[in-house]
């Protein structure tokens, strides 16, 4: 049976060139970067080199890049860190209802601790309302956290506009860039954010490695205390192999970014035209907004997405329904709910996310299977 992986927004396979770096590091470089002897000095240099590679990709200096275990930890560190470091000035945070749970649940936790959290409305494409942001900002607002590209729809938020408005009122700005990092060419200068989170495993590096950019690291309080690694902001012995792997993944991403973007754009058009032709009642989410070319969120009327997911899985096609974190439950996606997707389509949403291995043949295979599955899955 064919095996087609269309769930790259959930995670990606490790790139062969990245795997080579990992294996070489496991074999040769086991030193603790905090050690003073040559073993330690060697891995220290490697980490700093990786930091510089990632910094160059973002157009910043190495000293503003910090490593941690991934997107969830980076989001927690920044949001909790900024909220607590600036609480003398104010206890108000602004975010959006379409964020990843790593942001939403962190904000919910802070709300329990007495912080005030405002969720900005989004339009039908899932783009945050800038007018509403302007009205929500107060002198007590310390942080605005809005994701760069959405993991369910791929929609890209107007981060620079958000940052400008927030900065006018003295608030700091964070963006969860886990889904755009290495896919969309951007420099921090253009986004104008103070903090940005990234993760390796969405970018063909291993799971359990990621990090954040911080314009002013001192504005953070660490979550972990201990050996003072990452200038005291993230204690714990560095995962040297994973850091080197992430650096390699970034080099590859930069090298292939333009070509990969164009290739995926063509695949996305092929997929979406094909679906709309064979199932005219299908709804492509965020189609009118600027979006990642890797991500298609399509909803079918009067079917359950879970049924389609299972049918596709039986045919060797791996996709997800809306949010990976809510798969297995029949709660509709919080992202699509916030976008006011009509009740008829809310339960019939699929997320197909393409990546480096995706071919036109893969898309054609899905287009062959899907219309019949939708027909049979109808809950009349």
Residues that bind ligand PLP (CB under 6 A): 70-72, 100, 102, 147, 151, 176, 178-179, 199, 201-202, 210
Minimum distance between the CB of residue 209 and ligand PLP, rounded to whole angstroms? 8
Minimum distance between the CB of residue 82 and ligand PLP, rounded to whole angstroms? 17
How wide is the angle at C-alpha 60 spanned by C-alphas 59 and 65, nearest 5°? 125
Question: Nearest CA to 51 among 175, 222, 293, 231?
Answer: 231
In the bound state with ligand PLP, the residue whose beta carbon lies nearer, of 144 and 373, is 144
Minimum distance between the CB of residue 158 and ligand PLP, rounded to whole angstroms? 17
Minimum distance between the CB of residue 92 and ligand PLP, rounded to whole angstroms? 23
Q: Which long-range contacts (CB under 8 A, 24 or more apart) does 370-377 make?
A: 370/275, 370/278, 370/279, 370/308, 370/312, 371/278, 371/279, 373/308, 373/311, 373/312, 374/279, 374/282, 374/300, 374/303, 374/308, 376/311, 377/300, 377/303, 377/304, 377/307, 377/308, 377/311
In the bound state with ligand PLP, the residue whose beta carbon lies nearer, of 91 and 248, is 248
- Cα dist. 282→218, 350, 372 in Å? 49, 11, 13
In the bound state with ligand PLP, the residue whose beta carbon lies nearer, of 176 and 251, is 176
Active site residue 25: no
Q: What dihedral angle (degrees, nearest 10) is formed by the CA atoms of 335, 338, 341, 342?
A: 130
Minimum distance between the CB of residue 330 and ligand PLP, rounded to whole angstroms? 22
How far apart are the C-alpha atoms of 98 and 150, rounded to whole Å?
A: 7
Catalytic residue, chosen from 107, 250, 325, 369, is: 325
For residue 191, how many other CB atoms are within 10 A of its CB? 22
What b/e string do you get for 300-328 counting C-beta neighbours within 10 Å, with b at 16 or more? bbebbbbbbbebbeeeebbbbbbbbbbbe
Minimum distance between the CB of residue 115 and ligand PLP, rounded to whole angstroms? 20
How far apart are the C-alpha atoms of 179 and 324, rounded to whole Å?
A: 14
How far apart are the C-alpha atoms of 14 and 125, rounded to whole Å?
A: 32
In the bound state with ligand PLP, the residue whose beta carbon lies nearer, of 152 and 282, is 152
In the bound state with ligand PLP, the residue whose beta carbon lies nearer, of 200 and 305, is 200
In the bound state with ligand PLP, the residue whose beta carbon lies nearer, of 68 and 370, is 68
Report, as residue numbers or ranges, the catalytic residues: 325
């Amino acid at each position: 049976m064919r095996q087609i992986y269309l769930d790259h927004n959930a995670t990606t396979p490790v790139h062969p060139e990245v795997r080579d770096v990992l294996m070489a590091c496991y074999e040769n470089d086991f030193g603790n970067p905090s050690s003073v002897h040559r073993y330690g000095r060697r891995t220290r240099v490697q980490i700093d080199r990786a930091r510089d590679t990632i910094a160059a990709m973002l157009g910043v200096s190495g000293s503003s890049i910090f490593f941690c275990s991934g997107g969830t930890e980076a989001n927690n560190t920044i949001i909790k860190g900024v909220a607590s470091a600036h609480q003398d000035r104010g206890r108000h945070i602004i975010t959006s209802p379409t964020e990843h749970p790593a942001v939403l649940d962190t904000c919910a936790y802070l709300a329990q601790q007495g912080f005030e959290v405002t969720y900005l409305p989004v339009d039908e494409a899932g783009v945050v309302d800038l007018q509403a942001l302007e009205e929500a900002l107060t002198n007590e607002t310390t942080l605005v956290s809005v994701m760069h590209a959405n993991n369910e729809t791929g929609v890209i938020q107007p981060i620079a506009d958000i940052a400008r408005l927030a900065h006018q009122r003295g608030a700091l700005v964070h963006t969860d860039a886990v889904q755009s990092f290495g896919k969309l060419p951007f420099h921090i200068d253009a986004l104008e954010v103070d903090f940005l989170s990234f993760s390796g495993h969405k970018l063909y590096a291993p799971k359990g490695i990621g990090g954040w950019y911080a314009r002013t690291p001192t504005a953070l309080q660490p979550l972990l205390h201990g050996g003072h690694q990452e200038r005291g902001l993230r204690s714990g012995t560095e995962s040297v192999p994973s850091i080197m792997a992430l650096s390699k993944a970034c080099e590859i991403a930069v090298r292939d970014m333009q070509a990969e973007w164009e290739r995926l754009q063509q695949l996305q058009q092929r997929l979406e035209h094909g679906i709309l032709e064979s199932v005219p009642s299908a709804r492509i989410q965020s189609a009118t907004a600027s979006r990642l070319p890797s991500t298609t969120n399509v909803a079918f009327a009067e079917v359950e997405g879970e049924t389609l997911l299972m049918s596709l899985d039986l045919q060797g096609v791996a996709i997800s329904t809306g949010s990976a974190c809510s798969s297995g439950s029949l709660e509709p996606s919080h992202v699509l709910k916030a976008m006011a997707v009509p009740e008829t389509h809310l339960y019939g949403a699929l997320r197909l996310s393409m990546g480096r291995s995706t071919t036109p043949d893969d898309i054609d295979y899905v287009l062959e299977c899907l219309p019949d599955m939708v027909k049979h899955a109808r809950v009349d």
